Amino acid sequence: MLMRTDPFRELDRFTQQVFGSPGTWSKPAAMPMDAYRAGDEFVVCFDLPGVTKDAIDLDLERNVLTVKAERRPRPGGDDVQMQVSERPLGVFSRQLFLGDTLDTDHIAADYEAGVLTLRIPIAEKAKPRRIEIAGAESDRKQLKA
């Protein structure tokens, strides 16, 4: 159904925690996600707290789904002095390779409470189906005739 795109993502996350914030890295930071199958659809949830809906881009090219989001700094004035800044700002990105068993023409996206939820239906060709077996009864009928 879904293939991970970056086998070193956990190593990158650990390195970012130890040596610095994602803003100092050349590539966009990854966003945490959960993915699961619920009935006849595949559900993917991304954590994007503090990101506005208009700062999220979803692109699908062939079977590669790209999610990009940008957390922008809060507007401040001359009288604002930052005391602690631990929440990363900037661009967050994630690519998912979607298998042929998913119906990528009917992806639904919803954004609520800082969570982007994508619902991707399972393609009809990938759903289990019963196959009738021919031969036993028809062979007997032909022998009697």
What the chain holds in terms of domains, given with CATH numbers, is 2-74+87-144 (2.60.40.790)
Mean pLDDT of 102-112: 93
| pLDDT tens-digit readout, 27-57 | 556 688 999 999 899 999 999 988 999 999 9
Q: Higher model confidence: residue 127 or residue 25?
A: 127
Per-residue DSSP letters for 25-72? SSSPBP--EEEEEETTEEEEEEE-TT--GGGEEEEEETTEEEEEEEEP
Which two structure tokens, joined as six digits, stand for 124? 């009809």
> Worst-scoring range by mean pLDDT, 26-35, 56-65, 115-124?
26-35
Tokens 């930071």 belong to residue: 29
Rounded CA separation 65/44 (Å) = 11
> Considering the chain, what percentage of its residues have pLDDT values greater than 70?
71
